[in-house]
A and B are shown apart, each in its own frame.
Chain A
Amino acid sequence: GAGVSQTPSNKVTEKGKYVELRCDPISGHTALYWYRQSLGQGPEFLIYFQGTGAADDSGLPNDRFFAVRPEGSVSTLKIQRTERGDSAVYLCASSPVTSGANVLTFGAGSRLTVL
């Protein structure tokens, strides 16, 4: 597709459940990023992939959060034992990583609500 696609656009779950959020980046983009955005705040970095490997996962808040990108394209963000504080918009972005002036293209986000 022409842009970054994220599914689902909205997810409502109960506390303690497992959630998967999917990101389909722009074809050919080798770098993929996950961010989380709470109301009134800027996007907060979670994890960054170069190809299939996680190059920087310093933003993952705890071990309930995990992300994979097994074939270097689609990525899945997995959240175990969800808590109400996990409610946020989860944003995915991709980039071609051609230089240090690297431009990111973002998806519309997946809004997660934990009841």
Chain B
Amino acid sequence: DAKTTQPNSMESNEEEPVHLPCNHSTISGTDYIHWYRQLPSQGPEYVIHGLTSNVNNRMASLAIAEDRKSSTLILHRATLRDAAVYYCILKNSGGSNYKLTFGKGTLLTVNP
């Protein structure tokens, strides 16, 4: 799977929007962009995924650049509960191996 690059850490204030960037310049046409997050002392949890178009769900929005070489996870109003490590992962839709390969992610701190 192609590699992603994320900042090591970011800070936000409660109730403000947060934009978490991810670069994936070697993405292939069949790679999905997945985001997971990991709250302290818990396993990772799925947030959102997309292929080409922007996506929205109850947790977040995913904005994908037109050339697909970067994407941004948007939390519209950060809460203290959103403090977590956020992982951006590329997953090829082809083949039969469905594992995900995690990097170090971005540690998001939310200030009250």
A residues sitting closer than 8 Å to B (CB atoms) are 4, 31, 33, 35, 40-45, 48, 50, 55-56, 91, 93, 95, 97, 99-109
Q: In the bound complex, what is the Cα–Cα distance between A103 and B34 (angstroms)?
A: 9
Taking CB as reference atom, which chain A residue is nearest B49?
A101
Residue pairs across A and B with CB atoms within 8 Å: the count is 68
Tell me the residues in window 13-38 of chain B with beta carbons closer than 8 Å to chain A beta carbons. 30, 32, 34, 36
Taking CB as reference atom, which chain A residue is nearest B107?
A40
Taking CB as reference atom, which chain A residue is nearest B104?
A42
Closest chain-A Cβ to B31's Cβ sits at a distance in Å of 9
Instruction: Indicate whether B80 reaches chain A with its CB closer than 8 angstroms.
Output: no
B98 and A43 within 8 A (CB):
no
B43 and A42 within 8 A (CB):
no
Across-interface contacts of A103 in B (CB, < 8 A): 34, 46, 49
Q: A56-B97, A101-B32 are in contact. Are A93 and B43 (CB under 8 A)?
A: yes
Q: In the bound complex, what is the Cα–Cα distance between A109 and B45 (angstroms)?
A: 12
Q: In the bound complex, what is the Cα–Cα distance between A48 and B67 (angstroms)?
A: 32
